[in-house]
Amino acid sequence: MKNLFYKTIVLFLVGGVVMSCADSDEPNYQYMPDMYKPIGYETYGEYDIFVNGQEAKLPVEGTIPRGWMPYDYENTPEGMANAKANLNNPLPYTEDNLNEGKQLYTIYCAVCHGDNGDGKGILAEREKILGIPSYDDAGRAITEGSVYHVIYYGLNSMGSYAAQTSEEERWKITHYVMNLKNELEGGEEIPFEEEKEASIAEANPVEVQRAQQNAEESQGEGAALTLDEENNN
Amino acid sequence: MKKVKYRHSTSRLLLLSVAFFISFSVLGIAQEEASQDAAAEGQEQTDESSGESSGDSAATSDLGDPANGKSLFNSLCAACHKPYSASIGPALHGVTEKRDMDWLYSWIKNSQELIASGDNEAVAIYEEYNQTAMPAFPQLSNTDIDDILAYVEQPKPEPQATQTGGESAGGESSGGGVSVNVILGILLFVLVMLLAVLFLVNKTLRNFATASGVVIPEKPKRKPIWKSFVENQFLVLVSAVFGLLVIGWFAYGFFMQIGIDQGYQPIQPIHYSHRIHAGDNEIDCKYCHSSARTSKHSGIPSLNVCMNCHKTISEVAPETATEDYSKEFYDGEIAKLYDAVGWNPAEQDYTGEEKPVKWVRIHNLPDFAYFNHSQHVTVGGIQCQKCHGPIQEMEVVYQDAPLTMGWCINCHRETNVRMEGNEYYEKIHEELSKKYGVEELTVAQMGGLECAKCHY
């Protein structure tokens, strides 16, 4: 009997040791992992041959990929004032655009600015981030251009959202923000515009406008600010 | 992404040799999950119990109403100013002693005008803070400004008040966990004591018996149980069959779990808590993992996304701390972020010394499988939790789904394609509905089980 008792104890000890070996900190073993490991470079991979070991490398400054245009306004108070006065939304104010803007707003903006744009998002209510103004703040008097500019560069405590959104998405958010501002101020509902055929890449008025601004401002200033946008998509 | 090398796994030969015990590891994982749940519940309790402990106990000032001032300050001023420490703008506590009230009114209402008018004080402060322009606040009346200044001029609240609140809350929630252990310990102790007492009583009684000359009749030796077992051939046959079945069960279980990383929970370089970010603060998944909407990869957010919020949040609130992780621990983790991104919180500036954070990837597919996040998230409209588990409750992320081929295919057989509102499906829906005679089409009926769809 005693012999059996000791055997059981030993068995339990062995079992315990084995169980402690199979811990969750390590991935499981694999049987003949022929094509498990990538031969090509993986996104976000770490490889010795790259600078800093990062597979994600920055594009050369000043280069422009297809389907993308640099933003011409500078990240300065003057650039802000310039954008506030001159920059207009190239997207038509349609229901689709507004709804998509609302979805994106709910993801990226509502967490601080609140679902109504009154600066009472959950982070403000929990007093994690303070000092979020309402969109009808008279001292700020936001316009389409300034909304886009601030989404692109950020302003003081707010960071840039250029990495998380594309140009078209930022303009959709701008539509929705202006709509919220209008609601907060108690203005009449803005009528929807006709859907135009042109998408943002082909919208000629924008490009004409851009070309003019490029000519006015000194050359080569806007392009350098484009890097972190491409870096994360 | 460097992965753990599997090929030179000589150390695991030992593991293989006693393989069927591995199946027990499921029990271990289940226990861990349970403890995590318990931790989450404890956190909720602390959240509730600690609330407005730092209430408006401060003395009312002669300037105005500090309560109104607090709400105005929080919505308008707190982006750049803190009452007791410098931020983008200077610390405001004590400003009424330094400056004239009329000067403050005109400065707050429109600082740029004041600077333009050539006021010496205004120009000096503008130069001191790197010519950062303070926005104008024309909507504030003089009484509003009085209220704000009254809030700002309140004496700094004693830090002890909030700390004791947090500690007492923690003590309450921890009391439940400890008491269960204590009860178990006491029960065990009592059991041991009873055994010892029984043994001693037996011994003394025997001593008494031998002393008084009573002979205890000895039991006749019975046949050992294993001998009678061996002699019974039927029992041997049954137990042999049973043993084979058990071995088969465990062997099959062992072979089926090779290469499955369910429950994999490595230690990350920074203790990032999805529970706090996605759970408590209700930040949308796509806020950080934004490329899940548009890309094959749902990327790890780069550090600029972290800094969007943590520029202003340099330490966690005391009520966020749990039993397992203290406030100091969390603050240290935020400091690691600042270190990686090169942010100097004292000067509110980037140093330019960056080093990437080497996150450990948990969800790995073999290279021969193609998975695209955007077509599942944006087009399919599948919830993140369906594949990644209750991520908003995970303090440390683990792999929830097995990510095996059977798991993928099972979902493709059961899930309907979202046809409505998608022009792409208009014609194909008509044709396939006729072919299968159904209105709703599953992914499998759309050809979602073909080899080349995922394996090229």
Q: What is the pLDDT of residue B231?
A: 87
Please write the tens of the pLDDT for every residue from B88-146: 777 777 777 777 777 887 788 777 777 777 777 777 877 777 677 777 777 777 777 88
**Cα B400 from Cα B389, distance rounded (Å):** 5
List of domains in chain A:
77-185 (1.10.760.10)
On chain A, the residues whose CB falls within 8 A of the CB of B355 are: 52
**Kind plus residue range of the DSSP H or E element containing B31:** helix B25-49
A with B: how many residue pairs have Cβ under 8 Å apart? 193
Q: Which residue has the higher pLDDT, B68 or B171?
A: B68
The pLDDT score that the predictor gives to residue B190 is 96
pLDDT digits (tens, 9 = 90+) for B286-303: 899 988 989 998 888 888
B-interface mutation test, from A10, A19, A21, A24, most B Cβ less than 10 A away: A24
Cα-based distances in Å from A82 to A85, A91, A145, A175:
5, 20, 9, 19
CB spacing of A35 vs B258 below 8 angstroms: no
Average pLDDT over residues B190-216: 90
Res B91: pLDDT: 76
Question: B192 pLDDT band (50/70/90 cuts)?
Answer: very high
Q: Minimal Cα distance from B303: which residue of A?
A: A232
Task: Give the span between the Cα atoms of B346 and B333, in whole angstroms.
Answer: 17
Residue with the bigger pLDDT between A43 and B165: it is: A43
Q: B3: which chain A residues are within 8 Å (Cβ-Cβ)?
A: 27, 37
Cβ B68 vs Cβ A112: under 8 Å: no
Show the tokens assigned to A91. 């997207």
Option in A77, A106, A231 nearest B284 (CB): A106
Tell me which chain B residues have a C-beta less than 8 angstroms from the C-beta of A44.
1, 297, 299-300, 361
Nearest to B313 among A31, A42, A129 (CB): A129
Tell me the average pLDDT across B161-169: 40
Pick from A40, A122, A233: CB nearest B294: A233
Chain B residues with CB under 8 Å of A40 CB are: 367
Position B149 confidence tier, pLDDT thresholds 50, 70, 90: confident
Residue A140 vs residue B338, higher pLDDT:
B338
Structure tokens given for A147: 């909304």
- pLDDT for position B191: 96
Tell me what pLDDT residue A208 has. Answer: 46
Q: Which of B6, B21, B368 sits opposite A18 (nearest CB)?
A: B21
Q: Is the pLDDT score of B199 beyond 90?
A: yes
A33/B6 Cβ within 8 A: yes
Residues of B in contact with A134 (CB under 8 A): 75
Query: Inter-chain contact B311–A111, Cβ cutoff 8 Å?
Result: no
Smallest CA–CA distance from B267 into chain A, residue: A25
- For B235, residues 6+ apart whose C-beta sits below 8 A from its C-beta are B229
Give the pLDDT confidence score for residue B250 in this predicted structure: 95
- 3-state SS record for B232-280: CHHHHHHHHHHHHHHHHHHHHHHHHCCCCCCCCCCCCCCCCCHHHHHHH
Q: Which residue on chain B is closest to A120 by alpha carbon?
A: B75
Of the candidates A71, A58, A108, A79, the one whose C-alpha atom is nearest the C-alpha of residue A228 is A58
Query: 3-state SS of B347-416?
Result: CCEECCCCCCCCCCCCCCCCCCCCCCHHHHHHHCCCCHHHHHCCHHHCCCCCCCCCCCHHHHHHHHHHCE
pLDDT at B7 over 50: no
Look at residue B442 and give its three-state secondary structure. Answer: strand
- Chain A hits for B312, CB-CB cut-off 8 Å, are 129-130, 157
Residues B137, A139 contacting (CB under 8 angstroms): yes
Residue B79 distance to chain A (closest CA, Å):
4
Could you tell me the sign of the dihedral formed by the alpha carbons of B90, B96, B97, B98, in that order? Answer: positive
Q: Collect all residues of chain A within an 8 Å Cβ-Cβ radius of residue B283.
A: 111
Kindly report, residue by residue over B217-254, the tens digit of the pLDDT.
777 788 888 888 888 889 999 999 999 999 999 999 99
Q: For residue A96, what pLDDT is reported?
A: 80
Instruction: Provide the shortest C-alpha distance from residue B364 to chain A (in Å).
Output: 9
- Does B311 sit within 8 Å of A157, measured CB to CB? yes
Q: Which of B2, B6, B23, B264 is best to mutate for the A interface (most A CBs within 10 A)?
A: B6
pLDDT at A197: 54
Cβ neighbours of B299 in A, within 8 Å: 43-44, 232
Which residue in chain A is spatially nearest to B10 when comparing CA positions? A29
Q: Average pLDDT of chain B? A: 77
CB contact under 8 A, B281 and A27: no
**Does B265 contact A14 at a Cβ distance shorter than 8 Å?**
no
pLDDT over threshold 50, residue B53: no
Q: Looking at beta carbons, which residues of chain B come within 8 Å of A156?
A: 79-80, 88, 132
User: Residue B155 burial by CB count (10 A; 0-12/13-18/19+): exposed, middle or buried?
Assistant: exposed
Per-residue pLDDT tens digits for B382-429: 889 999 989 988 888 888 888 889 999 999 988 888 888 888 888 888
Instruction: Tell me what pLDDT residue B202 has.
Output: 92
Shortest Cα distance, chain B CAs vs residue A150, angstroms? 13
The DSSP annotation for A30-93 comes to -S--TTTS-SSPPTT-B-TTSGGGBS--PPPTT---TT-----S-SSHHHHHHHHHH----S--
User: In B153-224, where does DSSP find H-type helix?
Assistant: 159-211
Phi, psi of A186 (to 5 degrees): 75, 25
pLDDT at position A2 is 56
Q: How far is A65 from chain B (nearest CA, A)?
A: 17
Inter-chain residue contact A131 with B133, CB threshold 8 Å = no
Q: Give the minimum alpha-carbon distance from A191 to chain B in angstroms, rounded to a whole number.
A: 23
> What is the spatial distance between Cα B276 and Cα B285, in angstroms, rounded to a whole number?
12
Which token pair is B61? 């000032």
- Residues for chain B: how many in total? 456
Nearest to A30 among B6, B77, B355 (CB): B6
Tell me the CB-side half-sphere exposure of residue B363, using CA atoms within 13 A. Answer: 19
Residue of higher predicted confidence among B5 and B388: B388
The distance from CA B4 to its chain's CA centroid, rounded to whole angstroms, is 24
Contact B308 A42 (CB under 8 A): no
The secondary structure of residue B224, as a DSSP letter, is P
- The whole-number pLDDT of residue B166 equals 39
Kindly report the number of other CB atoms within 10 A of residue B390's CB atom.
Answer: 16
Interatomic CA distance for residues A172 and A92, integer angstroms: 9
pLDDT the model gives residue A111: 87
Q: Which residues of chain A does B50 touch, with a Cβ-Cβ cutoff of 8 Å? A: none
Q: Which residue of B has its CA nearest to A160?
A: B308
B315 → chain A, closest CA residue: A128
Chain A residue with minimal CA distance to B14? A18
What residue has token string 């969109």? A135
Rounded average pLDDT over B170-186: 67
pLDDT digits (tens, 9 = 90+) for B421-454: 888 888 888 888 888 877 777 888 888 888 998 9
Tell me phi and psi for residue A46, to 5 degrees.
Answer: -115, 120
pLDDT mean values, one per 10 residues, chain A (233 residues): 64 58 74 87 88 86 88 82 82 82 89 84 81 78 86 86 88 88 79 61 49 47 41 42
Burial class (CB in 10 A: 0-12, 13-18, 19+), B160: exposed
- Residues B18, A18 contacting (CB under 8 angstroms): yes
∠ CA A206-A210-A215, rounded to 5°? 155
Residues in Cβ contact with B234 at an 8 Å cutoff, skipping those fewer than 6 apart: none
* Identity of the residue in B75, B312, B367 whose CB atom sits nearest the CB atom of A157: B312
pLDDT at B226: 85
C-beta atoms surrounding B169 within 10 Å: 22
Q: Is there a contact between A37 and B258 if contact means CB atoms under 8 Å apart?
A: no
Q: Inter-chain contact B260–A28, Cβ cutoff 8 Å?
A: yes
Percent of chain B with pLDDT over 90: 13
Q: For residue B19, how many other CB atoms are within 10 A of its CB?
A: 17
Tokens of B356: 């990437």
- Which pLDDT score, from 0 to 100, does residue A221 have? 40
Q: Name residues whose C-beta falls within 8 Å of residue A7's C-beta, 6 or more positions apart in sequence.
A: none
The closest alpha carbon to B142, from B152, B131, B134, B150, belongs to B150
Query: What's the pLDDT band for B173 if we cut at 50, 70, 90?
Result: very low
Say how far apart CA B220 and CA B32 lie, in whole Å.
51
CA distance B264 to chain A (A): 5
A126, closest residue in chain B (CA to CA): B281
> How close is the nearest chain B Cα to the Cα of A138, in Å?
6
pLDDT given for residue B21 in this prediction: 46
For testing contact with chain B, the best of A125, A156, A160, A233 (most B CBs within 10 A): A156
Rounded to two decimals, the ipTM of the complex is: 0.74
The minimal CB distance from A163 to the residues B9, B28, B302 is found for B302
